[in-house]
């Protein structure tokens, strides 16, 4: 049973401390709680389990906590409460181009990124040809990455992340990479990875894509998981939720207009 | 400390490769490339020699070595110290993508950033040694002490960087402060003058207690003055005290702030 679990969150809480200025933040690190700050609950008591080989979608509005959740899974940030278990090598298609050096060639960057991800030289050598082939950017592979178009950079980044044979793949809106042909290639790749038993966590606003890959989905809002179930069911719930929110916002705006109250107390920009 | 060692243990090959790439990135894109690593220090040494020997006429021999030799041998380790202070203090800021975008053993960042600086310095030391031989300074058994002083220099700077890099990531003021202090470190550490010839005994001991002057004098003892490190027990003891304090503080800072670092830099 234990080996079945790929990702497990139990009662995970993550708050960001929002200070008024950099100075306050600095003092806050020294003097702790005595310096006032606003708490922002990015994740509020989140629990869920994803088994190996599952493809799970993650939906929610901006600021719902999706990115924080992904960052915790990839091990970039840390939660202050709760327990997180992640079994297997995670590849994150969060920021495809992070870790690239613009002066180095595409090929050198494959190695650089590989080392950053903790791979050995031999392991990178073994996948180098696959990455080059998948990225399919021709002679540009030996040119500095700084000379690439944004599409080419994304292609190379995507290729590296999927070819290092991850056990858990985290995708954040990354399938809109490059032109239609490449996008199709990426989708096929992800599908074949899912078929080969890779666990996939998929964040997207594109409902169709989510339903194409995932059989299960999580619906988040305000740092909580509101629903967990079959992808189609969740997609329907999310749609309804978005419609309702839109309506509520519209009414709110109209009410404000009628009553003539100012929209919000503003802080002046400092420049 | 345990955490830092653990982060390094499984990452040694990667550290070696990343330090090499760091070196390549620094010198890529300039036509003269790596030549600058040599030219820059050469010009600096010449300028100081010009100002002191020809301008201020302090060209007298220093304990049997010519002033030029004295200056050159003392300044070579300083180039590493300066580079490592500068590159070390902002290494978390510069590599913030490693910290905020991917899981990465963060404590290895100072290690490979400083290693890249060390490679340059080893080349400089070799050139300096050849120059000394050409000038007629005979090779001696004391030269093997370079295997003692170089690692100590590296670790001293590494431990110092654990503190400065973390604090600079928290507040950029700290990075500015570190940069501002470099000039003070340089002029007050006995690099351009001989601390042993200072008249005031209290001041002399203060200067000798600085880790920077321990390293610079160590290089001189190794290449010019034929003195073993255990022949300067007072300085050696104080240097190791510094090492322990820096390592202790640095690992404490790391432990305390590692987990908030991604949120601070994001």
DSSP string, B79-92: HHHHHHHHHHHTHH
> What's the rounded mean pLDDT across residues A7-34?
86
Render pLDDT for A60-94 as a digit per residue (tens, 0 to 9). 888 888 888 988 998 889 998 999 999 888 877 66
Please indicate whether, in this complex, the C-beta atoms of A121 and B262 are within 8 angstroms of each other: no
Please indicate whether, in this complex, the C-beta atoms of A98 and B97 are within 8 angstroms of each other: yes
How far is A203 from B145, CA to CA, in rounded Å? 58
- Count CB-CB contacts under 10 A for residue A19: 16
How far is B44 from B231, CA to CA, in rounded Å? 31
Instruction: Say yes or no: A211 contacts chain B, CB-CB below 8 A.
Output: no
Angle of the B35-49 helix axis to the B108-134 helix axis, nearest 10 = 60
Instruction: Say yes or no: B259 contacts chain A, CB-CB below 8 A.
Output: yes
Closest listed residue to residue B247, CA positions, set B131, B152, B118, B134: B152
pLDDT over 70 at A27, yes or no: yes
User: What is the token pair recorded at A149?
Assistant: 């178009």
Q: What is the dihedral of CA B185, B190, B195, B201, to 10 degrees?
A: -10
The helix/strand count (H/E) of chain A reads as: 8, 9
Please indicate whether, in this complex, the C-beta atoms of A115 and B28 are within 8 angstroms of each other: no
Instruction: Say yes or no: B14 contacts chain A, CB-CB below 8 A.
Output: yes
**DSSP bridge pairs for A217:** A57, A229
Query: Phi, psi (5° rounding) for residue B35?
Result: -55, -30
- Per-residue pLDDT band at B10 (split at 50, 70, 90): confident
> What's the rounded mean pLDDT across residues A199-227?
86
Is the Cβ–Cβ distance between A56 and A225 less than 8 Å? Answer: no
**DSSP bridge pairs for A169:** A91, A200
Q: Are strands A81-86 and A5-18 parallel, antiparallel or unpaired?
A: antiparallel
User: What is the distance in angstroms between the Cα of B39 and the nearest Cα belonging to chain A?
Assistant: 23
- Phi-psi domain of A136 (left: phi exceeds 0; alpha: psi -120 through 50; beta: other): left
> What's the rounded mean pLDDT across residues B18-24?
92
pLDDT over 80 at B38, yes or no: yes
Token look-up 């708050």 returns: A15
Please indicate whether, in this complex, the C-beta atoms of A29 and B170 are within 8 angstroms of each other: yes
Q: Which residues of A touch B116 (CB under 8 A)?
A: none
- Per-residue pLDDT band at A36 (split at 50, 70, 90): confident
User: What is the distance in angstroms between the Cα of A250 and the nearest Cα belonging to chain B?
Assistant: 33
Render pLDDT for B202-225 as a digit per residue (tens, 0 to 9). 999 999 999 999 999 999 999 999
Q: How far is CA B8 from the centre of its chain?
A: 21
Token look-up 């470190």 returns: B185
User: What is the token pair recorded at B255?
Assistant: 């432990």
Nearest to B13 among A71, A95, A121 (CB): A121
Please indicate whether, in this complex, the C-beta atoms of A76 and B11 are within 8 angstroms of each other: no
Angle at A126 between CA A122 and CA A129, to 5 degrees: 135
Q: Which residues of A touch B104 (CB under 8 A)?
A: 116
Query: Phi, psi (5° rounding) for residue A84?
Result: -125, 125
User: Can you give the pLDDT at residue B190?
Assistant: 87
User: Class for domain A1-88+167-177+190-258, per CATH?
Assistant: alpha beta
Token look-up 């004098």 returns: B217
Among B106, B263, B265, the residue to mutate for chain A (most A Cβ within 10 A) = B263
User: What is the token pair recorded at B11?
Assistant: 């990452």
Long-range contacts of A116-123 (CB under 8 A, 24+ apart): A116/B14, A116/B18, A116/B98, A116/B102, A116/B104, A117/A91, A117/A164, A117/B102, A118/B10, A118/B11, A118/B14, A118/B105, A119/A164, A119/B14, A120/B13, A120/B14, A121/B13, A121/B17, A123/A164
Strand intervals (E) in A34-164: 38-51, 55-60, 81-86, 90-93
Render pLDDT for A169-181 as a digit per residue (tens, 0 to 9). 888 766 666 788 8
pLDDT over 70 at A10, yes or no: yes
Angle of the B35-49 helix axis to the B67-89 helix axis, nearest 10 = 130
Render pLDDT for A103-154 as a digit per residue (tens, 0 to 9). 899 999 999 988 988 889 999 999 999 999 998 888 999 999 999 988 888 8
Arithmetic mean of pLDDT over chain A: 86
Decide: helix, strand or coil at residue B139: coil
Domain span at B74: 2-265
- Count CB-CB contacts under 10 A for residue B191: 23
Q: Are strands A168-172 and A224-230 parallel, antiparallel or unpaired?
A: unpaired
Query: Phi, psi (5° rounding) for residue B56?
Result: -85, -5
User: Can you give the pLDDT at residue A184?
Assistant: 86
Give the rounded percent of residues in chain A with a pLDDT score beyond 70.
93
User: What is the distance in angstroms between the Cα of B78 and the nearest Cα belonging to chain A?
Assistant: 29
Tell me which chain B residue has its CA closest to the CA of residue A72: B103
User: What is the distance in angstroms between the Cα of B263 and the nearest Cα belonging to chain A?
Assistant: 7
- Count of structural domains within chain B: 1
Please indicate whether, in this complex, the C-beta atoms of B170 and A103 are within 8 angstroms of each other: no
Please indicate whether, in this complex, the C-beta atoms of A95 and B171 are within 8 angstroms of each other: no
pLDDT over 70 at B106, yes or no: yes
* Residue pairs spanning A and B at CB distance below 8 A: 73
pLDDT over 80 at B198, yes or no: yes
User: Can you give the pLDDT at residue A1?
Assistant: 46
What number is the ipTM of this complex? 0.83
Arithmetic mean of pLDDT over chain B: 92
Please indicate whether, in this complex, the C-beta atoms of B262 and A77 are within 8 angstroms of each other: yes
Closest listed residue to residue A17, CA positions, set A30, A28, A6: A28
- Domains of chain A: which residue ranges? 1-88+167-177+190-258, 99-166
Q: Which residues of A touch B177 (CB under 8 A)?
A: none
Token look-up 């991917």 returns: B102
Q: Which residues of A touch B14 (CB under 8 A)?
A: 115-116, 118-120
User: What is the distance in angstroms between the Cα of B136 and the nearest Cα belonging to chain A?
Assistant: 43
How far is B91 from B109, CA to CA, in rounded Å? 7
Please indicate whether, in this complex, the C-beta atoms of B21 and A98 are within 8 angstroms of each other: no
User: What is the token pair recorded at A191?
Assistant: 């599908």
Token look-up 């002679």 returns: A139
Is the Cβ–Cβ distance between B254 and B107 less than 8 Å? Answer: yes
Is the Cβ–Cβ distance between B210 and B204 less than 8 Å? Answer: no
């Amino acid at each position: 049973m234990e080996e079945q679990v790929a990702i497990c969150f139990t009662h995970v809480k993550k708050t960001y401390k929002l200070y008024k200025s950099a100075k306050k933040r600095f003092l806050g690190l020294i003097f702790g709680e005595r310096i006032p700050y606003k708490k922002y609950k990015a994740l509020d008591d989140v629990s869920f389990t994803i088994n190996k080989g599952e493809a799970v979608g993650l939906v929610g509005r901006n600021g719902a906590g999706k990115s924080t959740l992904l960052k915790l899974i990839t091990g970039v940030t840390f939660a202050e409460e709760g327990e997180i278990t992640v079994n297997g090598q995670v590849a994150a298609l969060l920021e495809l181009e992070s870790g690239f050096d613009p002066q180095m060639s595409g090929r050198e960057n494959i190695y650089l990124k590989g080392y950053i991800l903790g791979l050995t030289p031999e392991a990178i050598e073994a996948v180098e040809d696959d990455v080059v082939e998948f990225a399919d950017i021709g002679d540009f592979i030996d040119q500095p990455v700084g000379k690439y178009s944004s599409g080419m950079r994304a292609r190379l980044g995507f290729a590296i992340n999927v070819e290092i044979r991850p056990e858990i793949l985290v995708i954040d809106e990354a399938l809109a990479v490059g032109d239609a042909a490449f996008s199709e290639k990426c989708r096929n790749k992800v599908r074949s990875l899912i078929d080969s038993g890779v666990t996939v966590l998929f964040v997207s606003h594109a409902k169709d894509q989510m339903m194409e890959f995932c059989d299960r989905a999580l619906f988040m809002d305000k740092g909580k998981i509101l629903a967990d179930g079959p992808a189609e069911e969740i997609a329907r719930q999310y749609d309804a939720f978005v419609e309702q929110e839109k309506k509520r916002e519209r009414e709110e705006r109209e009410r404000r207009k009628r009553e003539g109250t100012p929209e919000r107390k503003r802080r002046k920009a400092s420049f | 400390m345990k955490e830092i060692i653990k982060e390094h243990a499984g990452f040694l090959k990667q550290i070696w490769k990343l330090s090499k790439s760091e070196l390549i990135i620094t010198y890529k894109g300039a036509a003269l490339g790596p030549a600058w690593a040599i030219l820059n220090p050469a010009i600096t040494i010449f300028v100081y020699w010009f100002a002191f020997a020809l301008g201020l006429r302090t060209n007298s021999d220093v304990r049997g070595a010519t002033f030029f030799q004295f200056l050159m041998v003392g300044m070579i380790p300083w180039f590493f110290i300066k580079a490592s202070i500068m590159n070390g203090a902002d290494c978390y800021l510069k590599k913030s993508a490693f910290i905020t975008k991917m899981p990465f053993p963060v404590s290895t960042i100072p290690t490979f950033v400083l290693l890249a600086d060390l490679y340059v310095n080893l080349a400089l030391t070799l050139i300096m040694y050849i120059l000394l031989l050409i000038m007629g300074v005979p090779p001696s058994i004391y030269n093997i002490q370079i295997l003692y002083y170089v690692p100590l220099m590296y670790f001293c700077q590494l431990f110092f960087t654990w503190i400065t890099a973390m604090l600079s990531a928290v507040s950029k003021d700290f990075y500015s402060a570190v940069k501002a202090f470099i000039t003070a470190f340089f002029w007050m550490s006995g690099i351009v003058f001989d601390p042993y010839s200072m008249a005031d005994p209290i001041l002399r001991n203060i200067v000798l207690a600085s880790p920077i002057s321990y390293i610079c004098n160590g290089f001189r003892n190794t290449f010019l003055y034929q003195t073993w490190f255990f022949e300067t027990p007072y300085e050696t003891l104080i240097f190791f005290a510094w090492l322990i304090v820096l390592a202790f503080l640095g690992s404490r800072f790391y432990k305390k702030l590692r987990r908030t670092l991604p949120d601070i830099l994001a």
